[in-house]
């Protein structure tokens, strides 16, 4: 069994792994909440990392420590089940295992029904929770039964200001109701879910402004942490762009779809040093509706993030 004690982390050095992939989804210069689905494997300039579901890079330990810390705090805050079909869970476990062994044979060694991870130095059982501790990505599972769909499982240790406990069990439509501008997506949510299950796989990206590069932005602060400090978005102290690489992969044999979410960051220094990234970001900010700025916690702070002459 993996050791879930964040203070006793055993890791193989990651120096030989590549630098993290970098994504710049604001590059069009127009802010949108459209699905933006691209074929999985699309080349975004990150070589092999664009071609794999699970990305292993030099920052793996950061993601690993974050997951262990979340589970040590309170597992039910980050991992939630809602009528998860055992057959769906089995299919997800088989998928993750096959991708780890197939894409990263130097990191994962099958040992009967178990899996040895060279990075974490753990013998991992065929268990969903244990497997997810070996990867940086979070996961959501959506199931469909007739005309109904619901989020049956969330293992989310890098939430962006929303709670898995609130979203689990809700339909795709209801889970996204708070997102400004998502109405157009929700209008075709049934067709979108059908596409995720029976077509694809797909990759999409979302981005937001943050004032830190902390992975865990659950709306509830851990015990003993000041809620205002935990919330972040104190833009007087600096800013980064937080990105999410979201992969949707269908499991038509069990009428379900998986969402894998990998969080990344692009620093203000990198963006400011590239005229293309800087100009497109300013353009995207200008096209962002006030409701979206409020939702992202950025309204009223822009004058502290960007010079007044720029926005």
SS3 annotation, 21-71: CCCCCCCCCCCCCCCCCEECCCCCCCHHHHCCCCCCCCCHHHHHHHHHHHH
- 297 and 306 Cβ atoms separated by less than 8 Å: no
pLDDT, residue 7, reads 40
pLDDT, residue 308, reads 56
**What residues of the chain score a pLDDT lower than 50?**
1-8, 309, 311
pLDDT, residue 172, reads 81
Q: What is the pLDDT of residues 235-262, one digit of tens each?
A: 888 899 999 999 999 999 999 999 999 9
Q: What is the pLDDT of residues 72-101, one digit of tens each?
A: 999 999 999 999 999 999 999 999 999 999
d(CA 87, CA 15): 38
Domain boundaries, the chain: 21-223+232-305
151 φ, ψ to 5°? -85, 110
- 168 and 139 Cβ atoms separated by less than 8 Å: no
What strands, in cross-sheet order, belong to the sheet with 256-267? 38-39, 202-210, 240-251, 256-267, 138-145, 148-155, 79-81
Extract the tokens encoding 31.
């802010």
- 285: helix, coil or strand? helix
Peptide bond before residue 201 is cis, with ω within 30 degrees of 0: yes
The conformational region for residue 21 under phi > 0 = left, psi -120 to 50 = alpha, else beta, is: beta
pLDDT, residue 31, reads 86
Extract the tokens encoding 246.
């979201």
pLDDT, residue 288, reads 85
Cβ neighbour number for residue 12 with a 10 Å cutoff: 14
């Amino acid at each position: 069994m993996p050791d879930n004690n964040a203070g006793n982390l055993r890791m193989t050095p990651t120096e030989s792994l590549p630098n993290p992939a970098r994504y710049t989804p604001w590059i069009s210069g127009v802010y949108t909440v459209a699905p933006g689905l691209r074929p999985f494997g699309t080349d975004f300039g990150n070589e092999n990392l664009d071609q794999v579901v699970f990305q292993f890079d030099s920052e793996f330990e950061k993601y690993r420590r974050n997951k262990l810390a979340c589970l040590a705090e309170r597992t039910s805050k980050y991992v939630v089940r809602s009528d998860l079909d055992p057959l769906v869970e089995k299919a997800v476990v088989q998928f993750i295992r096959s991708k780890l062994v197939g894409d990263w044979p130097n990191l994962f060694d099958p040992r009967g029904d178990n899996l040895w991870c060279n990075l974490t130095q753990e013998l991992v059982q065929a268990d969903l929770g244990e497997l997810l501790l070996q990867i940086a990505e979070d996961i959501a599972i959506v199931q469909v039964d007739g005309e109904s769909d619901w989020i049956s499982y969330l293992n989310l240790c890098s939430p962006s200001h929303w709670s898995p406990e609130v979203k689990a069990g809700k339909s795709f439509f209801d889970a996204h109701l708070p997102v400004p501008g998502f109405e157009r997506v929700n209008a075709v949510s049934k067709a979108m879910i059908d596409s995720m299950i029976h077509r694809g796989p797909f990759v999409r990206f979302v981005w937001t402004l943050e004032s830190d590069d902390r992975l865990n932005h659950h709306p509830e602060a851990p015990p003993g942490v000041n809620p205002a400090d935990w919330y972040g978005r104190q833009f007087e102290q600096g800013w980064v762009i937080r990105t999410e690489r979201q992969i949707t992969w269908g499991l038509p044999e069990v009428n379900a779809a998986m969402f894998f979410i990998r969080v990344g960051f692009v620093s203000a220094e990198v963006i400011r040093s590239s005229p293309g990234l800087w100009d497109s970001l300013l353009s995207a900010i200008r096209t962002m509706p006030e409701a979206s700025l409020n939702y992202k916690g950025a309204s009223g702070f822009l004058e502290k993030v960007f010079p007044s002459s720029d926005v």
